[in-house]
Amino acid sequence: MPARTIILYPDAVLKEVCAPVASIDDGVRALIRDLIDTMHAGPGSVGVAAPQIGALLRVCVVDVSNSKLGKDNNHGLLILVNPEILRQEGAATMREGCMSVPDYTGDVERSEEITLRFLDEKGEARKMESSGFEAVAIQHEVDHLDGLLFLDRITSLKTGLFRRKKYK
């Protein structure tokens, strides 16, 4: 399926809390495919969440394997249905960007290590640990499912928000 249009801040849909997926049916499988295609089409994108394309369901995808920050520490393409972060450890500040906020980046403090529970694309329950850039990307996408943007987590509005020069 083709990439979908990304909803941009300040659209109110980005502040909505998403509903859990009751079962993985053809509609959810189509949504997953759209999310993957949209992520791959986005410049520098390492993840996208359902509300960013207008679907208020707890589904997101993450793949940091092609990013210089994540290429050496990743699980490949992650399809996360009803993700729940069970454990968070450590803290690091990293510059984040978002396709829904294309003109800005910001310094955000996130956990360095997480344990995550989710359903995969087949509906099977999975649990995994993640660290580094992949953990940051997962936290960013799970935030979208909870109606939060990286703007809500910037370390300092005075010194932590930056106008983006360009996508690479």
| CA 6 – CA 159 distance, rounded (Å) | 27
Please say whether the dihedral angle defined by the alpha carbons of residues 139, 145, 149 and 154, taken in this order, is positive or negative.
Answer: negative
Per annotation, catalytic residue among 96, 121, 134, 141 = 141
Query: Strand, coil or helix: what is 141?
Result: helix
Identify the CA nearest to 24 among candidates 83, 82, 84.
82
Is 141 noted as a catalytic residue in this protein? yes
In terms of C-beta density within 10 A (0-12 exposed, 13-18 middle, 19 or more buried), how is residue 60 classed? buried
Query: Strand, coil or helix: what is 42?
Result: coil
Q: What is the DSSP letter of 112?
A: S
Query: How much is the CA Rg of the chain, to the nearest whole Å?
Result: 15
Q: Any idea which residues carry the catalytic annotation?
A: 141
